[in-house]
Amino acid sequence: MRFNNRNESGTPPLGAGGSVAGIGILGLGEGRSTISAALQSKKLRLKTLCDVNEEMCRQRCKEFDFDHYTTKYEDMLNDPDIDIIAIYTPDHLHAEHISQALKHGKHVVCTKPFIDDLEDAKALLDLQQQTGKKVFVGQSSRFFEPAKRQRKDFEAGEIGELITVESHYHADHRWFLEKKWALEDAFKWLYGGLSHPVDFIRWYLPDIEEVMGYGMISANGKKAGLKHEDTMHFIFKATDGRIARASGVYTSPVQPAYRESGMSTVLRGTEGASQADYHELRYAITDRRGEEKTITWGDSALKHYFRFEGQSHHAGEYQNYLEYFADSIEQGFTAYPDMAEGIGTVALLQAMDESLKTGKPVKVKELLGRYGLNGIQ
């Protein structure tokens, strides 16, 4: 076996086509990343920023030397020059904001989790079918360089047939415990943090039949007054019998990055195995020929992905997925994760939540059936 360690310069691929889509951004907290992405993209034209907090609007305009904002969502909805509305508002507002955008003839990008209540899912699916507009879920972690390379190698058969998937998101987010909103009953790490590993598992094993998990509030979480689990482990079973696992730990220190990535996905196949490490821009594979490779991406990729102080916000993966979505509009293909896939991920997260509460396995199709969503995987 031969070990090969090399560096690759990572720049996002620009798709075919030359049209430029007008975009408006709703919600300027996480939306900060999308502002940077849109301004640096040749495929998008940033038209308007929108947030109910006018001071936030002014702050973002000053930061990015941009001069057009509004505190009224209807201003963006009624602007004929806006083709795409990108939504980064609190989870419980997503369904209403998506619905309004579709009714006004806009294509939609919405951050994860797509919605917070499956009660809204069927109406949104029907509305999208009626309008014919595209909806894309911003699962940003798929669009980081290591995840893109892992998927490419998987589809090329470099690890053979998939046996199992392991994914985690472990982060020292003790600073969240100082935020009032993080201590409210509405805040759950399950939906905010674990949605990344769960999306990776569904990307490779879309037909999850059953999930079982355990969770706890750590000593740090209890001391701060956290209401819901900050430490969780889950096992998933697919309809074909394959299994996967995901874990999330959010309020304790982490190991050095050279020992453990904060977010990582491992694929184990019949002829090889691969691991994509998110923040470190690191990828390793033992391929079907027995060759071992470790790939890291250099300065150009680091500057593309991490544009803000202390990596507080990312931007490169947002630019990657926005350009992919713009291409899908121009070229007429479906950009994934689409609405149906986003709803399927929410259903799985909801099944995981139910398992935490009951201490029992939960069948995903039974949960979907309660909401009349039998056609969703």
Which CATH number covers residue 197?
3.30.360.10
Total count of domains within the chain: 2
pLDDT of residue 301: 84
* 192 Cβ contact list (under 8 Å, min separation 6): 113
CA dihedral defined by 282, 287, 289, 292, rounded to 10 degrees?
A: 30
> Considering the domain boundaries, does residue 276 fall inside one?
no
HSE-CB for 152 with a 13 A CA cutoff: 8
Q: Determine phi and psi for 107, rounding to 5 degrees.
A: -75, 155
- The model's pLDDT over 157-199, given as tens digits with 9 standing for 90+, comes to 999 999 999 999 998 899 889 888 889 888 889 988 899 999 9
First-to-last alpha carbon distance for the chain, in angstroms, is 40
Alpha-carbon gap, residue 239 to 206, rounded angstroms: 9
Alpha-carbon gap, residue 342 to 74, rounded angstroms: 25
Alpha-carbon gap, residue 51 to 358, rounded angstroms: 38
Whether residue 79 is found in the same domain as residue 193? no
Q: Positive or negative, the Cα torsion across 366, 166, 114, 328?
A: negative
Q: What is the CA radius of gyration of the chain?
A: 20
When mean pLDDT is compared across 220-234, 245-259, 262-276, the lowest value belongs to: 245-259
Read off the pLDDT band of 255 (50, 70, 90). confident
Whether residue 116 is found in the same domain as residue 61? yes
Average pLDDT (145-166) is 97
Whether residue 332 is found in the same domain as residue 343? no
Residue linked to tokens 């300027």: 28
Read off the pLDDT band of 310 (50, 70, 90). low
pLDDT of residue 181: 85
- By three-state DSSP, how is residue 135 classified? strand
Whether residue 204 is found in the same domain as residue 94? no
Q: Which domain holds residue 113?
A: 7-139+297-337
* 180 Cβ contact list (under 8 Å, min separation 6): none
- By three-state DSSP, how is residue 174 classified? helix
Read off the pLDDT band of 314 (50, 70, 90). confident
Alpha-carbon gap, residue 319 to 304, rounded angstroms: 9
CATH number at residue 72: 3.40.50.720
pLDDT for 238 beyond 90? yes
Average pLDDT (234-243) is 97
Alpha-carbon gap, residue 178 to 183, rounded angstroms: 8
pLDDT of residue 233: 98
Whether residue 355 is found in the same domain as residue 322? no
Whether residue 199 is found in the same domain as residue 223? yes
Alpha-carbon gap, residue 203 to 49, rounded angstroms: 32
> Considering the domain boundaries, does residue 231 fall inside one?
yes
> Considering the domain boundaries, does residue 238 fall inside one?
yes
When mean pLDDT is compared across 50-64, 206-220, 305-319, the lowest value belongs to: 305-319
Alpha-carbon gap, residue 314 to 37, rounded angstroms: 9
Give the chain's mean pLDDT: 90
> Considering the domain boundaries, does residue 282 fall inside one?
no
Read off the pLDDT band of 261 (50, 70, 90). confident
Structure tokens belonging to residue 18: 């030359």
- The model's pLDDT over 46-91, given as tens digits with 9 standing for 90+, comes to 999 999 999 999 999 999 999 999 999 999 999 999 999 999 998 8
User: pTM, whole model, 2 decimals?
Assistant: 0.88
When mean pLDDT is compared across 76-80, 85-89, 212-216, 256-260, the lowest value belongs to: 256-260
Read off the pLDDT band of 18 (50, 70, 90). low
